[in-house]
Amino acid sequence: MPRLALLQSRAFPTKDEALDHHESLIREAATGGARIIVTQELFLTPYFCTVEATDHFDLADRIPCPASERLGQLAGDLGVVIVSSWFEHRGPGLYHNTALVHDADGSMLGLYRKAHIPQDPAFEEKFYFTPGDTGWPVWETRFGRLGVLVCWDQWYPEAARLMALGGAEILIYPTAIGWLPEEKEALGEAQHCAWETVQRGHAVANGCYLAAVNRVGTEGESEFWGRSFVANPYGQLVAKASTDGEEILYHDADFREVEDFRRIWPFFRDRRIDAYSDLTQRWRH
């Protein structure tokens, strides 16, 4: 029954400060018994996608890099799995929003590049990120089989399903989502409700755990709403963080519940895989 730890944190002025701070959080989480530790989206930087500015590309890292190797060393020293979120410089003019998984022996098992890229006011991600081409990898770690997606991927049941079909016992979503001041009063709680509800639905439809870790604080005009959470296979909220506080959110996940749930509600058995070919179309009319 591995203990999860979601690191709900704020932004820092420099990458070095952010890395030092997150190392302290990781060490604290490990001392608290955590075995799978997850950062928020783009944990080393402020959420720079609020504007389109070419200088921000300088924030990206080649993977692997000294910072990622430091996390790998930390994972091995502490005997924990670390899931982290990066601005990746893959090649000349080519950048991704990328998640890394380090196993408890310190090895980097692989990476996932964010597949769905949003474009909204104050979320100008299409300017920065190329859609991912890694497919839907699932990693067999020392403490469980993980499927890792990133933020905007949260809204797509197809992505969650493909990870679950790959054997994921838990879907993990590093996240940076918040309110804009002109929308918060009228739509703020509705937006949060939609975000939380759709992900709880992924947990139910796929009979697995789901963990979403968000950042907190105001950056530019974006007020990140925190509320990181863990849902069990029934979609129940078994852990939830505050709206505006930095904290480590813990939950002891019993992955035996995944198999038990799928035996009672065998959604994978009853899927009509002969009838879904139209899902590959952009639109049916």
The pLDDT assigned to 277 comes to 94
pLDDT of residue 22: 98
Question: Residue 134 phi/psi, 5° resolution?
Answer: -90, -5
| Class of CATH domain 3-267 | alpha beta
At 159-180, the pLDDT tens digits run: 999 999 999 999 999 999 999 9
Q: Is 41 a catalytic residue?
A: yes
Please answer whether residues 168 and 147 qualify as being in contact, where contact means their C-beta atoms are separated by less than 8 angstroms: yes
**In the chain, domain spans:** 3-267
Rounded to the nearest integer, the mean pLDDT of the chain is 97
Instruction: Choose, from 49, 124, 125, 151, the residue flagged as catalytic.
Output: 151
240 is catalytic: no
In tens, the pLDDT along 187-236 reads 999 999 999 999 999 999 999 999 999 999 999 889 999 999 999 999 99
CB 168 within 8 A of CB 112: no
* Catalytic-labelled residue, pool 49, 88, 114, 169: 114
CA 282-284-285 angle, 5° bins: 135
Task: Please report the pLDDT score of residue 53 as a whole number.
Answer: 97
pLDDT digits (tens, 9 = 90+) for 225-278: 999 999 999 999 999 999 999 999 999 999 999 999 999 999 999 999 999 999
- For residue 189, the model assigns a pLDDT of 96
Q: Which of 15, 26, 2 is nearest to 213 (CA)?
A: 26
At residue 270, the pLDDT reads 97
Q: What is the pLDDT of residue 114?
A: 98
Cβ atoms 94, 127 nearer than 8 A = no
pLDDT tens for each residue of 41-87: 999 999 999 999 999 999 999 999 999 999 999 999 999 999 999 99
CA dist., res. 263 & res. 266, Å (int): 5
d(CA 247, CA 96): 27
pLDDT at 72: 98
pLDDT value, residue 262:
98
Q: pTM of this prediction? A: 0.97
pLDDT in tens, 133-142: 999 999 999 9
pLDDT for 1: 87
